[in-house]
Structure 1
């Protein structure tokens, strides 16, 4: 559906995106990387807000760099900093954006309000909405034109736990039939909804795998143990600590290591966040290891 071929984005001497290729189909893609990894530059090129310095991007066989309107008609986009017009109600806000996008079906606006659970608040001023309600209103405006590609940037930043769960479920359901690209550095945002993860570092794609595949790679490297404080201090400089917690006279430790780091350590099922950290540490220790790709 969406084909990204050898894309490079330069800003002067800086390569924000460096020879990146991806083939994407409907489903949820988690785009993961630290600030400065190149995620925003990549999304802006997919959304036709900027052009690649080189390389090509195709949507169903059509070159969207040469013909950006082909993507814009089929795109929904929710930026990280989504603003609302304070004086408009949720209904008026969607009516305004529907007019901008050429959507003339009032029933669609009502269906979207129901989809994002804002129908009871349709006539309430958007300025009074919580962060989660604003994000849901943002998703509704992004879906007005029934897009085939939906891009959301750091969608759960600032949301409380309940709103975060609700928002993730909404994106997951949209991904049943559409391509949803979720850019985030919060791994838990995509852990249970993304079919694949695209992990970027310094402009390069270092992994493109399912969460299950990444967990399988990391399982031989994640260990847990309970140690006395003195033993913990002796060990911490020899391993990569993932988590530590004081429990009475003991310290519960989760760590990444190629081999059993101490006699009491046992292999432990990693979370996705721990798996990514363990593989990152393995790659730092041995560039040919773990992900099997250049940093």
Structure 2
């Protein structure tokens, strides 16, 4: 993918020739993806197309059989199924993740609790949260350390309409600060929000024309 601007872009994340098989089942056959600063990307495919496999490889939690990924900056990863400890409260999750990232305080976490409108559950154990609220916590933990690239696997699940709108406000704020967001989904709503849509089929990514009127990146 090339930039239409005269100023060269340094990619925040690149996947080059990614191959992955499980036994005799080949999932990825040389997938390529480039993500630039401030870019919002959707990887779209049918269930079973290999979207989550690709995202795990991009996140570094799964090794490809061939190919490479190159990351510039900090990475945030929000898997489809929240990885939470049912006995820990929301606040305790924030503290543990802040300690893991050596953050000086919980200011960003508390800001996200307020933005996503679930600060009233700060003292509630994760096991008692609704699916939508667990997904909010999942997203909060992925954003806690201010990543440069955010990877999201089906992030809308369980969100009510208000949270859905707040989610897009958050994404636009991230883009405005030069952060990149990659969303894995089998359905794309509001395609005009995205800078790039890439279809994953037969193990390959095929970019579509961008939808944003103000976009400067083309496939």
Partner of 1:181: 182
Q: Is 2:25 the counterpart of 1:14?
A: yes
Structure-2 change in CA distance of 1:86 and 1:165 (3 Å)? same
Answer yes or no: is the 8 Å Cα contact 2:90–2:137 preserved in 1. Answer: yes
1:74-89 equivalences in 2 (<5 Å):
74-89=74-89
Unaligned runs of 5+ in 1: 61-70, 214-295
1:70-116 CA distances to partner (integer Å, 9 max, x unpaired)?
Answer: x7xx1111111114433433222211222233323233333333343
Answer yes or no: is the 8 Å Cα contact 2:192–2:212 preserved in 1. Answer: no
Partner of 1:102: 102
Q: Secondary structure at the match of 2:152?
A: strand
Answer yes or no: is the 8 Å Cα contact 2:193–2:212 preserved in 1. Answer: no
Q: Is 2:34 the counterpart of 1:34?
A: no
1:130-145 equivalences in 2 (<5 Å):
130-145=130-145
Answer yes or no: is the 8 Å Cα contact 1:46–1:57 preserved in 2. Answer: yes
Structure-2 change in CA distance of 1:107 and 1:162 (3 Å)? closer
> Runs of at least 4 residues of structure 1 off by over 6 A?
none
Distance between the aligned counterparts of 2:209 and 2:93, measured in 1?
A: 38
Q: Is 2:60 the counterpart of 1:48?
A: yes
Distance between the aligned counterparts of 1:50 and 1:126, measured in 2?
A: 26
Deviates most, 178-187 or 95-104: 95-104
Q: Which structure has more RCO (C-alpha within 8 Å, separation ≥ 6)? A: 2
Partner of 1:25: 36
Partner of 2:16: 5
* Structure richer in helix, relative to its length: 1
Distance between the aligned counterparts of 1:155 and 1:7, measured in 2?
A: 23
1:176-229 CA distances to partner (integer Å, 9 max, x unpaired)?
Answer: 3211111011211x524321111111211133431359xxxxxxxxxxxxxxxx
Answer yes or no: is the 8 Å Cα contact 1:152–1:181 preserved in 2. Answer: yes
Distance between the aligned counterparts of 1:126 and 1:106, measured in 2?
A: 18
1:238-259 CA distances to partner (integer Å, 9 max, x unpaired)?
Answer: xxxxxxxxxxxxxxxxxxxxxx
Aligned residues: 200
Answer yes or no: is the 8 Å Cα contact 1:194–1:211 preserved in 2. Answer: yes
CA RMSD of aligned residues (A): 2.4
Partner of 2:4: none
Distance between the aligned counterparts of 1:57 and 1:22, measured in 2?
A: 9
Q: Secondary structure at the match of 2:107?
A: helix
TM-score in terms of structure 2 length:
0.79
Structure-2 change in CA distance of 1:113 and 1:212 (3 Å)? closer
1:150-198 CA distances to partner (integer Å, 9 max, x unpaired)?
Answer: 111011123333333332332333233211111011211x524321111
